């Protein structure tokens, strides 16, 4: 099969052991980012199987209709960037392993790295030292503070464990099945969403972005946070009401934010308000970007291609396509 891999910025995938799974196929790897429909259509005109790295490129109907040879899209995790209805209509199989029982330790570790960086002002202190300034302020320790986990799933539960190891009280707010697991794990459960936001010293978001969670963190929620509190978002920017985080930080509640996700990605505008604030630590959506995580993810993504080539597609998210899939 002719396979195209998009958005492999640092040409990492061909250096992974799992890349050998595609040895019998014709693979082209693109290291830049392209979103223009006509340019992408020209680039992918011969592609039969398309590999996506998370949501880096939007795959919409106007593009899909220009790709008559495309048979399979293979990726991992959620797929809000793919027009699944258009794929089904056009006979394109979409395979995506949802890995519900597999924690992303890379994302959990990055979350904790951001917590430490923000609370101790590590990036700001390091930048000041390089500029010839010896100490610029006083940070905060984590022990005996309250860590709020909003969404107690495969990543939130791991981050909660890190908080416990650092001597924090873990407070959870989530759907009832997740709350039951949090109770079983010995964590405290907030009495209400309002109480959750008001009591957390560090509040970390860990939910999938779906219709039900879009904008689930409101301006009112943020206004209840302590002036010295930290909001952490390594999940999706859309969980927060549009514009609410910038307004809240300017108003001083919460006092800090640590974020790995943005409304528009890739973000290349250094004048973006979140990048201009001294009380924000920001990284460019690298929660899952580690060699170890890539090997895990792309081993599964490539397995989906091998299975499709063998006539036995797996992890199909649009099963209605089966009756008229392209061959």
DSSP state of 59: B
pLDDT tens-digit series, residues 3-12: 999 999 999 9
Same domain for 140 and 79, yes or no, is no
In the chain, the N- to C-terminal Cα span, in Å, equals: 11
In angstroms, rounded to a whole number, what is the distance separating the alpha carbons of residues 305 and 24? 11
Query: Can the peptide bond before residue 266 be classed as cis, meaning omega within 30 degrees of 0?
Result: yes
List pLDDT tens digits, range 39-67: 999 999 999 999 999 999 999 999 999 99
Do the domain assignments include residue 144? Answer: yes
User: Are 258 and 193 in the same domain?
Assistant: yes
My answer on whether 275 and 184 are in the same domain is: yes
Shared domain for 188 and 175, answered yes or no, is: yes
Is residue 326, in this structure, part of any structural domain at all?
Answer: no
Catalytic residue among 54, 76, 187, 236: 236
Residue 164 known to be catalytic: no
Catalytic residue among 195, 265, 293, 295: 265
pTM of the complete model: 0.91
Q: 11: domain range?
A: 2-100+290-321
Return the percentage of the chain with pLDDT > 70, whole number.
99
Phi/psi at 110 (5° precision): -65, -40
Please say if 236 is a catalytic residue. yes
CB-CB contact of 64 with 87 (8 Å) = yes
Q: Tell me the C-alpha distance between 283 and 274, whole Å.
A: 11
Is 265 part of any domain?
yes
> How many helices (H) and strands (E) in the chain?
12, 12
- Considering the domain architecture, whether residues 14 and 41 belong to the same structural domain is answered as yes
Surface-to-core class of residue 157, CB atoms within 10 Å of its CB (0-12 exposed, 13-18 middle, 19+ buried): buried
Helix, strand, or coil here: 163? helix
Q: Are residues 82 and 199 in the same domain?
A: no
- 118 and 26 both lie in a single domain: no
Is 300 a domain residue? Answer: yes
> For the chain, what is the domain count?
2
Same domain, residue pair 111 and 259? yes
- Which of 54, 76, 285, 300 is catalytic? The answer is 285
Residue 234 belongs to a domain with what CATH number? 3.40.50.720
Residue 327 lies in a domain: no
Q: Which of 85, 90, 54 is nearest to 71 (CA)?
A: 90
Give 214's DSSP letter.
T
What gap in Å lies between CA 78 and CA 317, rounded to an integer? 10
d(CA 277, CA 326): 50
The 10s digit of each residue's pLDDT in 196-209 is 999 999 999 999 99
Query: Is 132 found in the same domain as 114?
Result: yes
Report yes or no on 69 lying in a domain.
yes
pLDDT tens figures, 268-316: 999 999 999 999 999 999 999 999 999 999 999 999 999 999 999 999 9
For residue 14, indicate whether it is catalytic.
no
Check whether residue 112 and residue 227 sit in a common domain: yes
**Do 259 and 123 share a domain, yes or no?**
yes
204 and 218 assigned to the same domain: yes
Q: Is residue 307 domain-resident?
A: yes
Q: Is residue 102 scored above 80 in pLDDT?
A: no
Question: What is the C-alpha to C-alpha distance for residues 229 and 202, in angstroms, rounded to an integer?
Answer: 6
Q: Answer yes or no: is 275 within a domain.
A: yes
């Amino acid at each position: 099969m002719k396979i195209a891999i998009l958005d492999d910025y640092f040409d990492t995938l061909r250096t992974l052991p799992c890349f050998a799974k595609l040895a019998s196929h014709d693979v082209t790897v693109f290291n830049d980012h392209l979103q223009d429909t006509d340019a992408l259509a020209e680039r992918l005109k011969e592609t039969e199987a398309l590999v996506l790295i998370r949501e880096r490129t939007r795959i919409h109907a106007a593009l899909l209709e220009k790709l008559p040879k495309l048979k399979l899209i293979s990726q991992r995790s959620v797929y809000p960037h793919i027009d699944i209805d258009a794929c089904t209509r056009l006979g394109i199989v979409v395979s995506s392993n949802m890995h519900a029982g597999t924690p992303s330790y890379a994302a959990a570790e990055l979350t904790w790295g951001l917590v430490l960086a923000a609370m101790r002002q590590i990036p700001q202190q390091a930048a000041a030292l390089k500029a010839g300034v010896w100490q610029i302020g006083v940070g905060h320790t984590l022990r005996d503070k309250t860590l709020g986990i909003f969404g107690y799933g495969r990543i939130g539960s791991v981050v909660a464990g890190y908080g416990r190891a650092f001597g924090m009280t873990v407070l959870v707010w989530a759907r009832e099945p997740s709350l039951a697991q949090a109770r079983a794990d010995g964590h405290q459960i907030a009495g209400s969403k309002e109480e959750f936001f008001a009591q957390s010293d560090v509040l970390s978001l860990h939910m999938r972005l779906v219709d039900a969670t879009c904008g689930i963190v409101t301006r009112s929620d943020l206004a209840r946070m302590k002036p010295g509190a930290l909001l952490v978002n390594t999940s999706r920017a859309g969980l927060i009401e549009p514009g609410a985080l910038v307004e809240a930080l300017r108003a001083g509640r919460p006092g800090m934010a640590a974020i790995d996700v943005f409304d528009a990605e890739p973000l290349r505008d250094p004048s973006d308000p979140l990048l201009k604030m001294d009380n924000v630590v920001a990284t460019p959506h690298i929660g899952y970007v580690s060699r170890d995580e890539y090997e895990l993810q792309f081993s599964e993504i490539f397995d989906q291609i091998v299975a499709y080539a063998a006539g036995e597609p797996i992890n199909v998210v649009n099963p209605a396509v089966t009756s008229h899939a392209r061959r």
